[in-house]
Chain A
Amino acid sequence: MATALAWIVLVLPLVSGVVLAGWPKEPPHAVTRLLGIGSILVAFGLSVAVFVGMLGNPADDRVFTSSAFEWIAIGGVSVDLSILVDPLSVLMMLIITGIGFLIHLYSAEYMEHDRDYRRFFASMNLFVFSMLLLVLAGNFFFLIVGWAFVGLASYLLIGFWYERPSAVAAAKKAFVINVIGDVGLVLAAFLVLRELGTLDYGQAFAEAGTLGADSGTVLAICLLLFVGAAAKSAQVPLHTWLPDAMEGPTPVSALIHAATMVTAGVYLIVRTHVFFDLSWLAGDIVAIVGAITLLMAATVALQQVDIKRVLAWSTVSQVGYMIMAVGLGAYASGMFMLMAHAFYKAALFLAAGIIIHALHDEQSLDRMGGLKKYLRVALFGMGTGALAMAGIPGFSGFFAKDDVLAAALNGGSIGVICWVIGMVGAFLTALYMFRLLFRAFFGPEPAGGYQPAPHPSRWWMSVPVVILGVLSIVGGWLQTPFGWTGMSEWLEPVIGQSTGLLEPTHGTEIVTIAVALVMALAGIGLAWWLFGADPERRIRLAQKAAGPRRVMREGWEFDRAYDDLFVDPSREVAEVMAARVEPAGPQGIITGTTALVRGAARVVSASQSGMVRAYAFWMVLGISLAGIVIALIVAGGG
């Protein structure tokens, strides 16, 4: 039953997307909305049904697999088109279809005036299908397929406004970096295939133990999986595509580049946690990369002026927290934060979308200010989102971050380092989020005021923002310190009992809560001092640290380093190949042979002087020589 519904959930967005794409002309908006939004709503309803059905089962009877048909049998390996429905994938289904539905609803108004309304919804539905395929896949092959399809959908939506060169370039960058991630994942799958002889999750996880704990093979598998995860989840050093991805429409940024797709790396690590459990080194590397990312991205977010880029870098930073958590083995905490983040980051992006819409595609904080009296709904969404992200008690972000950090403090020396970095990150998070809030909604209006006045959103856009704002408050009550452990219990059939090491003690909980709260309040206070109380102050202070600010604004110059390290050398090699090697080598074989034949012909033809008398002379000479030779041979023989 659960699997049948899951199949329908999987197929619905695909069918609606294909129907939309295949509609002969641009369909009426009502049709597009019905197909585009309706299908996701139905999918969400069915996901809830699967969830409720699964709740009714005892905890040890919540994992189902279903195979549609034998997809290929090749070289002794058989791959089925199969899905795996377990608490982890059901959680992801709920997030994808639930938030997906709200964002689709929002898009109905946001994209209303766009020429390509239908194309937008078709692409969005393709994305939802791909993401569902990613989380429902029952083997590595279809995981990779879903993995790549979300990359394709992301490419299509980043480059949605394909006439803008910047959007086209951003789409290409996102796609290529995602392909690098795909390569990591494919190589991991090859390694699993070689060592375990299967691509099926069930078999592979069951036999993973035969590889031996801490063996090089397990480490390699984990690191290759992490290459895929890092590319998709925008972790250092494969994060550079995500800020550029903001070229896409804002709902896209909310759904794909904040709530769902970028957290696929977290899902991947939790899904393949069996391998990570076998290699502490791999886990530590993952955790450290996550920690570096969260700190680095937070500093960059501090310097962005584009409202969407602030949120993009904040996403990189927040996903860093999740990656850190799962790297340390706190899988439930990571998934918990994934869910909470989906709520508040979607709220933030959608609120930003309301601002951008109201200001007619203005995205720069420099030309915002005092918006609180125009855009109440956006203020609500942005405010709850910022409070949640800063980690104010009662909001979802507080519980999630606390859960992650408290777990980290129990994770050995690496865990303590991560805890410290996480705390610094918490301070920075509060600082940059409230910078955004204060600069956009408070303070004076930009010089000259708003022309025309910002218009508030209609219900299509308002309702999702309000719902997500509420969710970013209550969504965290699922798992609280000293109280409920809903998330851990729900995921138990997938990740097993917590290993004890990571079960936070009362002491660490209290320390973590206290320090995190101090950090958050300090960040908010500093933000108020810098950006809220006296708007002139930041301008005075800004001049003092121009150098570091520039480096941070440029995202620590990763883009330039990549250009210098990879893109330019490749281009130069290609130029040399095209300009030198190809003409000299493969073409040289041809031109060389031709030249050789020509040259030889020229030498021979020079002897054809056209002088009949000379020919006669040479003939006589030749005959004479031949005669002498014959005579000598005869004489010698005789």
Chain B
Amino acid sequence: MNVPIEAYLMLSLGLLVLGLIGVMRRRNPLMLLLSVELMLNAGNVSLIGFSRLWDDPSGQVFALVVMVVAAAEVVIGLGLVVAIFRSRSNLDVDELSSMKG
């Protein structure tokens, strides 16, 4: 079956926009992480799409790497969320602005 590259890209774009809106709209860090995952996966879809188009497996390999990295990142992110929740008992990224200039 030959899916055209445009389909991959449209899916990717959709996921990316969803992720972006999520990052910009949601205040809960868990939702933020989820949205970031969404965007990463949008990237993965593109990578796989191009990999199919050029018939080059390295795109797929990259996607796998991204997944591993994303997994690691989520672990760290969740760890941080838990730590912040413990110390502040509140999960709103807008409140976490102690690094502002």
Contact = CB atoms under 8 A, between A and B. Distances in A.
A210 interface: no
B93 interface: yes
Interface string A60-81: 0000000000000000000000
A611 B27 contact: no
B101 A612 contact: no
B20 A611 contact: no
B100 A613 contact: no
B24 interface: yes
Interface in B56-87: none
B99 interface: yes
Nearest to B36: A616
A605 interface: yes
Contacts of B23: 613, 616
B97 interface: yes
Nearest to B29: A612
Contact of B97 (A606, A609, A616, A620): A609
Contacts of B97: 609-611
A620 B94 CA distance: 18
B101 A604 contact: yes
A594 interface: no
A616 B31 CA distance: 14
A612 B100 contact: no
A604 B101 CA distance: 8
Contact of B20 (A604, A606, A620): A620
Interface in A577-627: 604-613, 616-617, 620
A616 B100 contact: no
A85 to B, nearest CB: 84
Given A613-B27, A613-B94, A608 B20 contact: no
A608 B101 contact: yes
A604 B100 CA distance: 11
B101 A606 contact: yes
A198 B93 CA distance: 88
- By CB atoms of chain B within 10 A, which of A604, A605, A607, A620 has the most? A620
Interface string A489-503: 000000000000000
A267 to B, nearest CB: 78
A618 to B, nearest CB: 10
A628 to B, nearest CB: 16
Contacts of B32: 612
B2 interface: no
Contact of A620 (B24, B25, B99): B24
B89 interface: no
B93 A613 contact: yes
A240 B27 CA distance: 87
Interface string B15-27: 0000010011101
Contacts of B101: 604-610
Contacts of A616: 20, 23-24
Contacts of A609: 97, 100-101
Nearest to B20: A620
A612 B96 contact: yes
Contacts of A612: 32, 93, 96
A612 B28 CA distance: 11
A620 B39 CA distance: 12
Contact of B94 (A604, A608, A611): A611
Contacts of B27: 613
A610 to B, nearest CB: 3
A60 B61 CA distance: 118
A611 B92 CA distance: 10
Nearest to A601: B101
A290 B64 CA distance: 109
Nearest to B100: A610
A612 B94 CA distance: 7
Contacts of B24: 613, 616-617, 620
Contacts of A607: 101
A442 B3 CA distance: 139
A610 B20 contact: no
Contacts of A611: 93-94, 97, 100
Contacts of A610: 96-101
Nearest to A613: B24
A617 B94 CA distance: 14
Contacts of B100: 608-611
Nearest to B25: A613
Interface in B1-52: 20, 23-25, 27, 32
Nearest to B93: A612
A151 B91 CA distance: 86
Contacts of B20: 616, 620
A609 B100 CA distance: 5
A273 B24 CA distance: 99
A612 B25 CA distance: 11
B14 to A, nearest CB: 16
Contacts of B96: 610, 612
A616 B19 CA distance: 11
B9 to A, nearest CB: 14
A620 B99 CA distance: 21
A610 B101 CA distance: 7
B98 to A, nearest CB: 7
A492 to B, nearest CB: 93
Given A606-B101, A608-B101, 13 more contacts: A607-B101, A609-B97, A610-B96, A610-B97, A610-B99, A611-B93, A611-B100, A612-B32, A613-B27, A613-B93, A616-B24, A617-B24, A620-B20
For the complex of A and B, 5 pairs with smallest distance between CB atoms: A610-B97, A605-B101, A610-B100, A608-B101, A616-B23
Interface of B: 20, 23-25, 27, 32, 93-94, 96-101
12 contacts: A604-B101, A609-B100, A609-B101, A610-B96, A610-B97, A610-B100, A611-B93, A612-B93, A613-B23, A613-B27, A616-B24, A620-B24
